[in-house]
Each structure stands twice: as structure tokens, then as C-alpha cells.
Amino acid sequence: MVKSTNESNITGFILLGFSDYPQLQKVLFVVILILYLLTILGNTTIILISRLEPKLHTPMYFFLSHLSFLDLCFTSSVIPQLLVNLWDPMKTITYGGCVVQLYVSLALGSTECVLLALMSYDRYVAICRPLHYTLLMHPHFCMTLTSLAWLSGVTTTLVQSTLTLQLPFCGQHQVDHFICEVPVLIKLACVDTTFNEAELFVASILFLIVPVSFILVSYGYIAQAVLKIKSATGRKKVFGTCSSHVTVVIIFYGTIMFMYLQSAKSTYKDQGKFVSLFYTVVTPMLNPLIYTLRNKEVKGALRKVLGKIQVVNFT
């Protein structure tokens, strides 16, 4: 058991995770380990080919490489501890480990929320204002947008995580989840958490509802532009380019909204855990698959890079 020095000073937590499903834990361990390895392989591949292939030195793949880097960091801040807890019956995490996981995962997740919105803007400019694309989406502007996304993620985690950790837990150290997240830690507090819940709701509006609304508006304009294209081949090409981003958006935002827009006192415990698996484990693995399998440019660049590697090996 994790001991505390006094009633409110906790030195560690027990992440209960999927303790209610002991027969499922070993299966989850194997499945999540495989998905994690695929996540590392897929996202590393996206980053490498985006850097090595000159044809992919465009704003779209600039943002995509940042998305892959975010997914690599995010999963690495969550999954190793999850795997340990699925295998270890003690399921403990130190207070410091929980704090680091809270700050890092929230910063990266919030940054990704903003980045996906920026990617929709990139698609809007490319399709609706193609003649001005290179002027509007120049490298310096893309770098500025990405920096703002990272800055917003860091800012929100400094506010939300700090406010959450100020709450007294009164010796409670059993977290009914597999990750140290703001909603589940608020549930441990032994004082009124109305302010924290209100702050969490406002942050959720800013990082979930606002980006989703922005994305919907962007794709509304894109849909209008696509309908004006007379060529069926042209419409199919534009749809193929955008459908991958829409798929990622639906999976990512849909699962996070379920977790963060419900009340901290919600009783949907088990559903919340399995939903959280989607945006912590499944979505980061799906991103490279969705973008590569539905994108001829990425598949062509991958074949080209692999061909160069084979030539080097033979010589």
C-alpha cells in the first residue's frame, strides 16, 4: 500500500485502472503493448519521411509531423505506466510521477486539440484559396501557428494542473482510472470542487468546443468548394485529402468530449476508462495509418525512401 505522511500529504497513488476486470488485464497488456509499438513505428515513419522527402516539405506535412511528434510524446507519458500497472498487482505511482504525467499529458493533449484546428485551416486555404496558398501558409507563419499551439497547451496545463494539485485529498490515494487526469483527481478532493469543475468546463470549451466549431466551419466552406468542382476526379482527390483529417477529428474530439465535458461527479466510471483508451492508445496509433493508407503522396514518399535505404544497403 501507498502510505501518506499525514492525512492530506500523499506520497503516492494507486491507479486502480481495470482492477475490476482481472481476467481482462493480461489481454489488455498484450494489445496495448502491440498498439504502442505500432504507434512508435508509424509516427516515427511519418516524421522521417516528412523530413527526408523534399516533396513533403509543405505546410500540410509540417503540421502532420508535429502531430506525430505530439502523439509519440503523449503516448510515452501514459502507456509505459499503464503497462506496468496492468502487470503489477500493486498498481502504484509516486506522487511525483503522477504530477509529471498530469502536467505533460494535459499539455500535449491540449496542444493537439489546437493543432488539429490549424490543420483544418491549412486544408481550407489549400482548397478554397489555392492561388493564395503559398502566400498565406509560408513557413514562418506555419511556425508561428505551431508555436502558439504549443504555448496554449503549456499555459492550460500550468493553470489546470496547478489548481487541481492544490486540492486537499485528505489521505485518499486510490485513483479509479489508469492515468492521472484532472477530472479523476478532482473526484478525490474532500472539499467543494465547484470552482475547479467550472474552470475545467471553461477550459474544455476553449480547447474542445472552439476548435471543433472552427473545424466544422472550415470544412463547411471546403464542402461548398468541392461541390463546385465539375470534375469527378477532382472531387474525389479533394475528398480523399480531407477525409483523413475528418476521421482523426471525429475519433479524437469525440472521445475526449465524453471524458472532459461530463461532470466530475459523473458515475460513468468504466465507460470513461475504456473511452480514455481511445484517445490515449488507439487514436495515436491510427493517425499514421489513416494519413498514409489514404494518401498517395505519403505512400509514394515511403516507397522512395525505402528504395534509397535498400540501395545504400546493397552498396
- Residues 178, 180, 182, 186: is their CA dihedral positive or negative? positive
What number of other Cβ atoms are within 10 A of residue 35's Cβ? 18
Residue 90 has pLDDT above 70, yes or no: yes
Query: Which whole number is the average pLDDT over 103-127?
Result: 93
Q: Distance (Å, rounded) from C-alpha 252 to C-alpha 274?
A: 14
Q: What is the pLDDT of residue 268?
A: 57
Instruction: Answer whether residue 49 shows pLDDT above 80.
Output: yes
pLDDT at 267: 54
- Ordered alpha helix ranges (H), 205-295: 210-227, 232-260, 269-277, 283-293
Lowest-pLDDT range of 115-119, 209-213, 241-245, 282-286: 241-245
pLDDT tens-place string over residues 190-212: 898 999 999 999 998 999 999 99
Residue 21: what residue type? Y
In this model, does residue 93 exceed pLDDT 70?
yes
In this predicted structure, what is the pLDDT of residue 227? 78
Cα distance between residue 252 and residue 291, in whole Å: 14
How would you label 81-94 residue by residue, b for 16+ Cβ within 10 Å and e otherwise?
A: bbbebbeeeebbbe
For 214-243, how does the pLDDT look when each residue is reduced to its tens digit (9 = 90+)? Answer: 998 998 888 888 877 777 776 776 776 677
What strands lie across the sheet with 174-175, from one edge to the other?
92-94, 12-15, 174-175
Please determine, for residue 40, whether its predicted confidence score (pLDDT) is greater than 50.
yes
What is the average pLDDT score of the chain? 85
**pLDDT score recorded for residue 5:** 38
Q: What is the pLDDT of residue 2?
A: 45
What is the predicted pLDDT for the residue at 177? Answer: 87
pLDDT, tens only, 2-34 = 444 334 456 788 888 888 888 889 999 999 999
Of 9 and 274, more confident: 274
312 has a pLDDT exceeding 70: no
Q: Return the amino acid letter for 251.
A: I
Out of 64-73, 276-285, 300-309, pick the least confident: 300-309
Q: 293-310: per-residue pLDDT in tens?
A: 666 777 777 777 777 666
**How, if at all, do strands 12-15 and 92-94 pair?**
antiparallel
pLDDT at 83: 93
Give the model's confidence band at 269: pLDDT under 50 very low, under 70 low, under 90 confident, else very high.
Answer: low
